[in-house]
Every structure is written in structure tokens, then in C-alpha cells.
Amino acid sequence: AGAVLLRVFLELAMIDCLKRLGKLDPLVLRLRDTRKLRHSMPTLGQLVPEIKAIAKPWLTGAEMNRINKALSSDKDAPFNIGDLNAFVHDSDLPSARDIQQFWLRTEPLFRLMLEQDLEGTVQ
């Protein structure tokens, strides 16, 4: 349950951040125009590149490296977003350590999305 909530929290935080920055509607329109929008909102995979581009100038290289590993679907990377998506449909559940490691790698991104107005001041 914790992993499902973490995945949903990640997606909702991304949507909220993009909406506050005025970047969600253009993304939706672009995806709709290219027929890549299957539902009314972008998929998590479609949100990730947008958020990473926003975060890059605000976070350190080390933080972005950890975030890139967490938000990749690279099978060789430790527990990542691909695993977070797949386990919902699989019997191989993540361990508490898997979830904690994902959180530790993505916490700077969550802080950026939820605590800052991206003008440099904390909300």
C-alpha cells in the first residue's frame, strides 16, 4: 500500500507542479495534437521529462543523478519508477527498503515540487 501511495503521490505532485507553472495545459495540448494523450491527463511517463527539465536548474548534479536513476525504467538501476509501476500488476512486491530507497532518491524533487514556488522562495 505504501508503494502505491508513493507512486500516486509522485504523479499528483508532478501534475500540481506543472499546473502551478502553467506548463500542464501546453503539455496536454501537445500530446493531444500528436495523438499521444490516451486519457485526459498525461501518463506518469509523459510527466517525468517535463519535471526533470524543470528541476535540473534547481537541484545539484548529485541530486539529479539520483533522481534520474529513480525516474528511469532501466532494469539495471536499483528500484525505480519502472518497478513502482510494474509491481501493481505483479506478485513481486517491493520491500520496505525498496520504497525507502526510492523516497531517498526522489525526496529533493518532492521538496522542489511541493515546497518552492520555483522563484527561489519557500511557499
Q: How far apart are CA 92 and CA 19, in angstroms?
A: 34
* Contact predicate 48/71, CB 8 Å: yes
Q: Model pTM? A: 0.84
pLDDT digit string (tens) for the chain, length 123 residues: 788 889 899 999 999 999 999 999 999 999 999 999 888 999 999 999 999 999 999 999 999 999 999 998 877 777 888 888 777 777 777 888 988 999 999 999 999 999 866 654 434
Predicted confidence at residue 119, as pLDDT, reads 59
